[in-house]
Chain A
């Protein structure tokens, strides 16, 4: 069965510092990987996704994630965070054999301090 592990439940950082949110997955088939962000009291929004092609994918607000097949990882990074990046971040894997079900990790709470 597919699963997703987010290694850090909470990541506190100072504004303008770099950040990495770690995600590892397990799957025996080809994977499609996603990062979603949830701001307080809101639903989830897609941040970026890897389907195929370049292993480095970027979002419009400066986040990037790299698909590493050998390490079964899809870590999310940003070189300089802002207060407004404070949110919960969810890594997810999509099971192509189950009609596109998303399997989510437990989430990482990113807290950016001034």
Chain B
């Protein structure tokens, strides 16, 4: 299996632009997580989905952030408009879930976002 796939790996954009991050989970996994990693705040859970349904989005910082999962093999995290404080590494992770919520989360390589 190719693991969790994220694109792009690096994104540099200007303040005010729309940014879309993409994630393809491991095939057969039924849970998907979006995290943000910064030096100041560490690793934060933004939102997670079970069976394509958003379960908890309490970590989404504000209305500029939105996430969708239209099917079991694809998810997007969108920032519109982007701001310099959104600069971070964004990780996607997926989980099998057949053994319950203790199943391992598998992380993608991350997208490094820089907003100028």
| B107 and A100 form a contact (CB under 8 A) | no
The answer, yes or no, to whether B104 is at the interface (CB within 8 Å) is yes
Chain B residue nearest in CB terms to A104: B43
From A46, A99, A103, A105, give the contact of B56 (CB < 8 A). A99
| B108 and A43 form a contact (CB under 8 A) | yes
Number of B residues near A (Cβ < 8 Å) is: 23
Q: Which of A20-28, A65-73, A77-85, A90-98 contacts B (4 or more CB under 8 A)?
A: A90-98
Residues of B within 8 A of A100 (CB): 31, 95, 100-102
Number of A residues near B (Cβ < 8 Å) is: 23
Residues of A within 8 A of B42 (CB): 104-107
Residues of B within 8 A of A94 (CB): 101-102
Q: How far is the CA of A32 from the CA of B102 in the complex (A)?
A: 8
Chain A residue nearest in CB terms to B4: A43
| B109 and A43 form a contact (CB under 8 A) | yes
Given A32-B102, A43-B4, are A98 and B56 also a contact pair (CB < 8 Å)?
yes
The answer, yes or no, to whether A44 is at the interface (CB within 8 Å) is yes
The answer, yes or no, to whether A87 is at the interface (CB within 8 Å) is no
Residues of A within 8 A of B31 (CB): 100
Smallest beta-carbon distance B8→chain A, Å = 14
| A102 and B102 form a contact (CB under 8 A) | no
Residues of A within 8 A of B108 (CB): 43
The answer, yes or no, to whether A61 is at the interface (CB within 8 Å) is no
Residues of B within 8 A of A99 (CB): 48, 50, 55-56, 101
Residues of B within 8 A of A (CB): 4, 31, 33, 42-43, 45, 48, 50, 55-56, 91, 93, 95, 100-102, 104-110
* Interchain residue pairs A-B with the least CB separation, the first 8: A100-B101, A43-B107, A104-B43, A44-B107, A106-B42, A46-B104, A43-B109, A43-B108
- Assuming A43-B4, A43-B93, A43-B109, what are 6 further A-B pairs, CB within 8 angstroms? A44-B107, A49-B104, A98-B56, A100-B102, A105-B42, A107-B42
